[in-house]
Structures are given as C-alpha cells and as structure tokens.
C-alpha cells in the first residue's frame, strides 16, 4: 500500500512538472530576460538590469470556438540569435540600424506559435496562427502586471472614437481605477530606475489596442468591436448602426501584431529608439525612388498673405496658392499643401473650385519644382478610390486624408486600402485625424506621416509642458504631423490667435528647435510665407533642416522636462533643445564632432526678455569644434537650436 501511495505521488509530481514548464530567453548583452511559464495559461515575467519590471503577466487570444493560451501545451521551443543591419527607406533617426536580438519561438498544441524577441533595450511578442479558414477574434488577453507601483503617462480618451490628440496625463499606477478612462497607445511607465514604453506594431487587418486598468498595478488590452452596419453622417463622419460581437474576423493563418516594451535606463534612449524599424514589415510596393520626403507649405492656419509684395485679394484662389508656391520654390521646399476649399464640394474630389484654377496651378508648381498635395475627408476617399488615378493624371503628388478618428478593424483596413491604391498611382499620403503609426508606413512607404498628436493646430491648447513628452512617447513610435514652425510666439498666459492668424506657445527659439527634434517625413511650415520673410534668418534655418537623418544623438534629456538632440545629415550637424515651463542652463560637450574639424555654427537662443516676450531671440555665428563646451540657456517654454557647417 505504501508503495502505491509513493507511486501515486511520483505520478502527480510528474504531471505537475509537465503542466508547468518554464522557458527563458536573454538579450544579447545578458541584461534583459523574459521567462515564459506554460501552465493553466501562458504567463511571463520580465527582468532588466537586475530589476523585475513585470511579474505574472498573462497573454492569450479568445476565438469564437477556442482560446489560444488556455490550458496550453508546449510542443517545442527554439532559440535563435539574430544579427542584421537594416537600411530604412525613410531614416527618421539613422541611415543604418542594427537589429540584434534573441528570438524565442514556442510551438504550441492547437496550431499556433508564440514568438518573442529579446533585445538589449526591450522585449516584443506576437502570436502566429496556422488555422484553417477565417477566424473570429472575440477578445485579446494581454495583461501587464507591474512588479512595483510607479507613475504612468497616458493619453486618455472618453471612448474608442478619438483623434488621439488628448493631453498627456500622469497617473499613479495604483490609483488608476477600473472605471477610469482607458488609455491609447503608446504609454510610458516611469519606474524609479528604468522606464518602459509600451506600444504595438505590424498592425494589419486587426483593431488597434487601448489599455484599461485592472487595478492593483495592472492593466490589459481592450479593443473596439468590428462595425457591421454604418451610414454617412455628414461629409467626414460615419455613424455605426450595428457592431459585431467580435473585434476581428480575419484569416486563420497569419501573424498578429507585435506587443512591445521598450526598456530604458536613460531617458535619452526613449528619444533615440529605433524599435519600430526593427519590428517593421517589409516594403511591398517595390520601387520607392518616386517617393520624396520633405517639407511643405500649408495654408490652413495662416492662409491670408499680406504686405507690400501682396497686390491681390488673398483667399482660396489661384493668386494666393501661387504665392505659396513661389515661396516654396525660392526656399527649396518640395511641396505646397492645399487644405479644405480647393474642391467645390468636400464630397466630390473631381469638381474643383474655379477660383483655384487647379490645372494651371499644378502646371505652374511643376515648372517651379514644387509638388501639390490636397486635403480630403476620408469618406470622400472611401467613396471615390479612383481619385488616386485621377490625381496622378492631373499631376497631384499627395493627399492629406483626415478625420478617420477610429481604430476598429474596418478602419484599420481602410488605411491600408487607401495606402495601397495611392501607391499604385505614385501618390504620397499624410494621415491626419489618425492614430499612432503601427507599421503601415513601412509596408507602404508612400505613407509619409501621421497626426495622432496634439500639435500646433490647437494654438493655445498646444503648449511646451505637454509637447515635452512627445520626443519620448509619440515620436518614439514613428513620424508625427505636429505642424510646427510658428513665427508668432507667446508665453502661455499671453497667448492669443486663431485662423487665419495663428500663433504658437513657446519662444521663437522653441518653435525653431522642434524642427530639429520632432520627426516627420513630411514636415509642415505652418505659418504664412509673408511672416517667414519678415524673419529671413529664421526662415533660412527652418528650410535648411532635413526630414531624414544619418545619425541621432540625444545629448541631454529628461522625459517631459527637457530634450537636447544633435542630428547629422551628411557632414552637417543640427542641434535642437527645448524645455518645459522651467528655464534651464546646460554646458554641451560637442565631442561627437570629428576631431580636427572646425564648424561654423549658426545658432538661435532665447533673448534676455523671452521669458515674457516670447518673440525675443538672438541669432549668432561662431566657430566650434570637437573640444568645444557650449553653454546654452533656455528660458521657461524656451529653446535653442543651431546648424553646424563644416569649414573646408
């Protein structure tokens, strides 16, 4: 009898060991580790640099007829070391990106796999399924359990319908309640020793992700249901009449989006991150030589030229747009973006405003080397997908598509359908009224930028205390259409202005420095040409700033507080520095410059009275080298920027 009891205990112990399997993978530098436990669910822990960041997190996908991750069976594992160099088509930070990681592939019973990448600076996971036919995804289980309480930086909409332009809020993780507002992605976790940015990538045929609190320092994925019936509600909105009970109906054989955690020990690593490049899907459109990133003029916020050189009635007409085109041509600006009003009816892209003389304007701009981009509500694109063919015939170079304001599966698929059709006809795209970039701009590189940010369109509602989060959160996941470049500048308590005379919060040097720091493959000059010409030194600096870079180095940074970044294009360097409502002084070492070379530095600093009169600035030319230690001062809501040209 005793022997039978011992045997039974041994059998039970064996069953328990079989049911609870642990698999680990460590980053190339040995500092970051993910441990996956296969038991009743799929659990994981993450440690980095001697600290446990996430503990007892669980993941899975609930389908109509089964749950991937419930009572999972591990059939096999494989660990691979990957070392490769990526050359981005549009290098927002660097023309060469090292992609080195440990790949852990877990093959599970039930025809699915779980793939993990463990980087020196983060962890990413995704599900891969090999199921027959279509599947219906009811919900995704993705839960992050923090190992210790900390601050969270969130953007919290009231509902799924959002343009992703909310102000950032800082919330204590143990005070975020389950009935509080959810958050969009990305979010920033502010640990005492390390910070973690959570986002998603490679998002196709699947809804975007939001996060809701589970309380107890935990939060999990929540997604909008897929719409089944809908109708137009005006020229740019859609009313959803009926939703499915699932979040996605999709192919049973596919890769699901990456869920990634960028892990940093220095705030500068957030602003330097190339994680999106490393997780990006391949370009599917082939030749991209026709795609030209660059700057663009824009008429929406400041569209009424005035002054001694304006002898015509300004407005939405040929003479005004010709004035913008002439300015672009004089200053080497590649595009002129015409916002609402170029068409007679926003619902009909084929009937143009006769005051604009669009064919003549396109021909005039082409002769000057300037491409025309036009604004459209997304519903107009949805109802007239043939407009891209017509635009190519007319000679239009790009489309700014606006007001999507949703992330359900149907809308995610609209983004891809529009990008694909535009690429067929050599049209570049700016997605406005959009969510954060999640991989479409790599699959279809004609997608140059996204909004999904509280930018200068908000006038007084866009201020440095909020904008100082952007290099560390929003720009860390991809290009953003912030629409910078204001020449009318105010401190927050003195700000005023609105269309057609819009202005920016922050000093003039702040508004110039963000041209270097904020990243977009299509960078707006939001102000009027006549105002740029009033400050030719500022104009010449702004129009000289590239949109793509060979190298990025963040010199000084604290998330939400200040950021000073140096960027190189060819043999030229640009430096931009910005601060929030606290003024700051720094001594910058320029030891990143090549030894033995001198540079002519053209700099712009806050003036002595810029803390009150934000327009006050100082333009200076000096010589610098690798041994230079550069003292800079930024007033509250201020900035500093410079261009460094090598001396032959």
pLDDT tens digits along 294-345: 999 999 999 999 999 999 999 999 999 999 999 999 999 999 999 999 999 9
Cβ atoms of 472 and 557 within 8 Å: the answer is yes
Q: What is the mean pLDDT of residues 274-281?
A: 98
The one catalytic residue in 402, 430, 451, 616 is 402
Residues 584 and 491 in one domain: no
Residues 232 and 339 in one domain: no
- pLDDT in the model for residue 20: 78
Selection from 582, 579, 26, 548 nearest residue 295 by Cα = 548
Residue 276 — pLDDT band, cuts 50, 70, 90? Answer: very high
Rounded CA gap, 30 and 366, in Å?
55
pLDDT above 60 for 443: yes
Residues 319 and 247 in one domain: no
Is 199 a member of any domain? yes
CB atoms within 10 A of CB 229: 10
Copy the structure tokens of residue 643: 């261009």
Is 7 a member of any domain? no
Q: Domain total for the chain? A: 3
H-only helix segments in 232-302: 267-272, 275-279
Is 422 a member of any domain? yes
Residue 39 C-alpha from the chain's centroid: 36
Is 568 a member of any domain? no
3-state secondary structure at position 418: helix
Strand 504-505 versus strand 489-490 pairing type = parallel
402 tagged catalytic:
yes
Residues 274 and 300 in one domain: no
Q: What is the mean pLDDT of residues 262-283?
A: 98
3-state secondary structure at position 541: helix
H-only helix segments in 560-635: none
Where among 225, 248, 279 does a domain terminate? 279
As to burial, measured by CB atoms within 10 angstroms (0-12 exposed, 13-18 middle, 19+ buried), residue 268 is: buried
CATH code: domain of residue 153: 2.70.98.10
Selection from 512, 578, 571, 577 nearest residue 545 by Cα = 512
47 tagged catalytic:
no
Residues 320 and 234 in one domain: no
Is 561 a member of any domain? no
pLDDT tens digits along 32-45: 999 999 999 999 99
Whole-angstrom CA distances from 525 to 252, 340, 486, 537 are 45, 17, 8, 15
CATH code: domain of residue 627: 2.60.40.1180
What is the crossing angle of helices 318-330 and 358-367, to 10°? 10
Residue 254 — pLDDT band, cuts 50, 70, 90? Answer: very high
Residues 242 and 366 in one domain: no
The one catalytic residue in 339, 457, 465, 606 is 457
pLDDT tens digits along 116-167: 999 999 999 999 999 999 999 999 999 999 999 999 999 999 999 999 999 9
Selection from 76, 75, 165, 94 nearest residue 432 by Cα = 165
- Sign of the C-alpha dihedral, residues 327, 333, 335, 340? negative
| 493 Cβ neighbours under 8 A, 6+ residues apart | none
Residue 19 — pLDDT band, cuts 50, 70, 90? Answer: low
pLDDT above 50 for 421: yes
Rounded CA gap, 155 and 170, in Å?
9
Residues 120 and 184 in one domain: yes
Copy the structure tokens of residue 213: 């609190």
The pair phi, psi for residue 591, each rounded to 5°, is: -75, -5
Residue 648 — pLDDT band, cuts 50, 70, 90? Answer: confident
Copy the structure tokens of residue 153: 């930086």
Provide DSSP, 300-318. Answer: SSS----STT--S--SSSH
Where among 247, 279, 311 does a domain terminate? 279
| 627 Cβ neighbours under 8 A, 6+ residues apart | 590, 591
pLDDT tens digits along 84-114: 999 999 999 999 999 999 999 999 999 999 9
Rounded CA gap, 497 and 515, in Å?
21
| 330 Cβ neighbours under 8 A, 6+ residues apart | none
Tally the C-alpha atoms within 13 A of residue 21's C-alpha that lie toward its C-beta. Answer: 14
Residues 322 and 246 in one domain: no
Is 431 a member of any domain? yes
Is 596 a member of any domain? yes
- pLDDT in the model for residue 497: 84
Rounded CA gap, 398 and 294, in Å?
12
Where among 219, 254, 279 does a domain terminate? 279
Residues 195 and 314 in one domain: no
Cβ atoms of 428 and 422 within 8 Å: the answer is yes
E-only strand ranges, 202-264: 210-213, 218-222, 227-232, 238-243, 248-255, 258-264
Cβ atoms of 100 and 120 within 8 Å: the answer is yes
- pLDDT in the model for residue 9: 34
CA-based end-to-end distance of the chain:
94
Helix (H) or strand (E) holding 451: none
| 30 Cβ neighbours under 8 A, 6+ residues apart | none
Selection from 444, 435, 431 nearest residue 409 by Cα = 435
pLDDT tens digits along 446-476: 999 999 999 999 999 999 999 999 999 999 9
Residues 464 and 425 in one domain: yes
Per the structure, the complete domain to which residue 174 belongs is given by 20-279
Tally the C-alpha atoms within 13 A of residue 428's C-alpha that lie toward its C-beta. Answer: 26
- pLDDT in the model for residue 2: 39
- pLDDT in the model for residue 6: 35
Residue 211 C-alpha from the chain's centroid: 18
Rounded CA gap, 87 and 95, in Å?
6
Selection from 536, 550, 545 nearest residue 575 by Cα = 545
Residues 274 and 306 in one domain: no
Rounded CA gap, 560 and 190, in Å?
11
Residues 269 and 338 in one domain: no
As to burial, measured by CB atoms within 10 angstroms (0-12 exposed, 13-18 middle, 19+ buried), residue 7 is: exposed
Is 132 a member of any domain? yes
């Amino acid at each position: 009898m005793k022997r039978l009891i011992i045997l039974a205990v041994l059998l039970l112990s064996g069953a328990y060991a079989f049911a609870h399997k642990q698999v680990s993978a460590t980053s190339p530098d040995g500092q970051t580790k993910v441990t996956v436990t296969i038991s009743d669910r799929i659990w994981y822990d993450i440690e980095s640099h001697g600290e446990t960041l996430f503990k007892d997190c669980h993941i899975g996908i609930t389908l109509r007829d089964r749950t991937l991750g419930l009572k999972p069976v591990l059939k096999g594992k494989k660990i691979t070391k990957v070392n490769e160099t990526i050359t981005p088509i549009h290098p927002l930070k660097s023309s060469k990106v090292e992609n080195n990681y440990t790949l852990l592939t877990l093959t599970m019973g039930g025809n699915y796999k779980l793939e993990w990448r463990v980087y020196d600076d983060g962890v990413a996971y995704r599900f891969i399924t090999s199921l027959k036919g279509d599947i219906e995804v009811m919900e995704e289980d993705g839960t992050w359990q923090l190992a210790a309480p900390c601050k969270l930086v969130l953007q919290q909409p009231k509902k799924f319908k959002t343009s992703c332009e909310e102000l950032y809020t800082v919330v204590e993780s143990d005070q975020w309640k389950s009935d509080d507002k959810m958050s969009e992605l990305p979010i920033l976790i502010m640990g005492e020793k390390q910070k973690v940015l959570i986002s998603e990538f490679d998002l196709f045929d699947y809804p975007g992700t939001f996060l809701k609190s589970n309380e107890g320092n935990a939060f999990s994925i929540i997604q909008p249901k897929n719409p089944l019936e809908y109708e137009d509600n005006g020229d740019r909105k859609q009313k959803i009449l009926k939703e499915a009970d699932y979040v996605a109906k999709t192919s049973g054989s596919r890769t699901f989006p990456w869920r990634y955690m960028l892990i940093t020990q220095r705030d500068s690593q957030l602003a330097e991150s190339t994680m999106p490049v490393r997780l990006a899907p391949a370009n599917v459109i082939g030749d991209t030589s026709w795609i030209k990133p660059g700057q663009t003029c824009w008429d929406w916020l400041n569209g009424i030229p005035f002054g001694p050189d304006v002898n015509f009635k300004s407005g939405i007409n040929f003479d005004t747009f010709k004035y913008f085109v002439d300015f672009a041509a004089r200053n080497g600006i590649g595009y002129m973006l015409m916002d609402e009003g170029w068409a007679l009816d926003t619902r009909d892209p084929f009937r143009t405003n006769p005051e604009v003389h669009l064919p003549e304007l396109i021909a005039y701009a082409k002769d000057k080397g300037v491409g025309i981009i036009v604004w459209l509500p997304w519903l107009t694109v949805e109802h007239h997908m043939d407009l891209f063919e017509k635009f190519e015939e007319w000679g239009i170079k790009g489309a700014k598509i606006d007001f999507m304001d949703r992330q359900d599966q149907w809308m995610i698929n609209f983004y891809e359908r529009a990008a694909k059709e535009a690429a067929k006809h050599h049209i570049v795209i700016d997605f406005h009224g959009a969510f954060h970039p999640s991989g479409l701009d790599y699959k279809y590189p004609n997608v140059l930028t996204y909004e999904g940010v509280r930018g200068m369109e908000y006038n007084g509602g866009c201020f440095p205390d909020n904008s100082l989060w952007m290099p560390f959160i929003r720009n860390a996941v991809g290009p953003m259409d912030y629409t910078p470049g204001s020449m009318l500048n105010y401190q927050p308590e003195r700000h005023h202005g609105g269309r057609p005379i819009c202005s920016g919060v922050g000093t003039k040097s702040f508004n110039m420095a963000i041209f270097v720091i904020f990243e977009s493959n299509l960078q707006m000059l939001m102000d009027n040409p006549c105002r740029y010409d009033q400050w030719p030194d500022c104009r010449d600096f702004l129009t000289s700033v590239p949109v793509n870079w060979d190298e990025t180095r963040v010199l000084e940074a604290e998330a939400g507080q200040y950021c000073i970044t140096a960027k190189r294009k060819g043999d030229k360097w640009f430096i931009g520095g910005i601060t929030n409502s606290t003024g700051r002084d720094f001594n910058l070492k320029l030891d990143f410059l090549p030894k033995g070379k001198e540079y002519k530095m053209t700099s712009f600093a806050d003036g002595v009275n810029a803390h009150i009169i934000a327009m006050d600035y100082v333009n200076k030319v000096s010589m610098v080298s690798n041994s230079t230690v550069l003292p800079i001062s930024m007033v509250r809501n201020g900035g500093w920027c410079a261009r460094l040209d090598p001396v032959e």
